[in-house]
A and B are shown apart, each in its own frame.
Chain A
């Protein structure tokens, strides 16, 4: 464990989980989370689950703009 990181309990790890996955935690909290996840199977499983679900939400946008929309945009730019 890094000497400067704080030991955190599961409750705190769960509270910080989503911000950890979003890479939005301060470095010291991020390090504390990493240390906790290395030693807590339950929180690690939770993190894996949340990460996978986040990835599924991320991939939801596979829709493509139609040919009609492409033409409409070209027309807007041309006429502007």
Chain B
């Protein structure tokens, strides 16, 4: 074998051995750490799918896909974000398939885009009551976890996903953009829209629950 070929062969072998070692160490890392990530994965899956059975299926599929793609785990410190990316991509692709089948809810469409931004604070805040009370804080005091969950569940998938990744999982806008594969500007606008819709749902629900009447708000 010519010397140059031998060097190329040796270099290729070293690369393959290194890749094999990385794959093994990633696999070991995966096995050792997946259990500690399960609650977070399940929580995110539950918020995305809105029901326990689908959430469990989504986590199981994420784990299987994670094992398939173990080579793509470049940095073990990013393990949970790497898994969330796999989960989100799978969830979005399933939503798109379902959308094609049913044509009910649009993942890609601009659901509710025409509505003006809604601010719960603007509805509740009464500057002249500043020294006697803060209705907006009173409203939050009476807002339960179930109310927030319900408001999140009412969001369309594309808004729910960015709230889960940004607000719950604490990803930066750039990390969310990388995860769902869209420009950072889209993440910004979806998050703003999602929060507006979420606040509107809390407001509507508050009206139904008479939270506002208790605070002296009267609406038709």
Interface residues of A (CB under 8 A from B): 18-19, 22, 24, 41-42, 45-46, 48-50, 52-54, 56-66, 68-70, 72-73, 76-77, 80
Contact = CB atoms under 8 A, between A and B. Distances in A.
Given A45-B125, A65-B42, A73-B60, A57 B198 contact: yes
B15 interface: no
A40 B10 CA distance: 68
Interface residues of B, number: 47
A54 B167 contact: yes
Contacts of B166: 22
Interface in B145-172: 145, 148-149, 152, 163, 166-168, 170, 172
B112 interface: no
Interface string B12-51: 0000000000000000001100110011111110110000
Task: Identify the 10 closest CB pairs spanning chains A and B, nearest first.
Answer: A61-B43, A65-B42, A65-B38, A57-B167, A49-B121, A69-B56, A49-B136, A80-B67, A64-B39, A46-B121
Interface string B113-140: 0000000110001010010001011001
B173 interface: yes
A60 B140 contact: no
B63 A45 contact: no
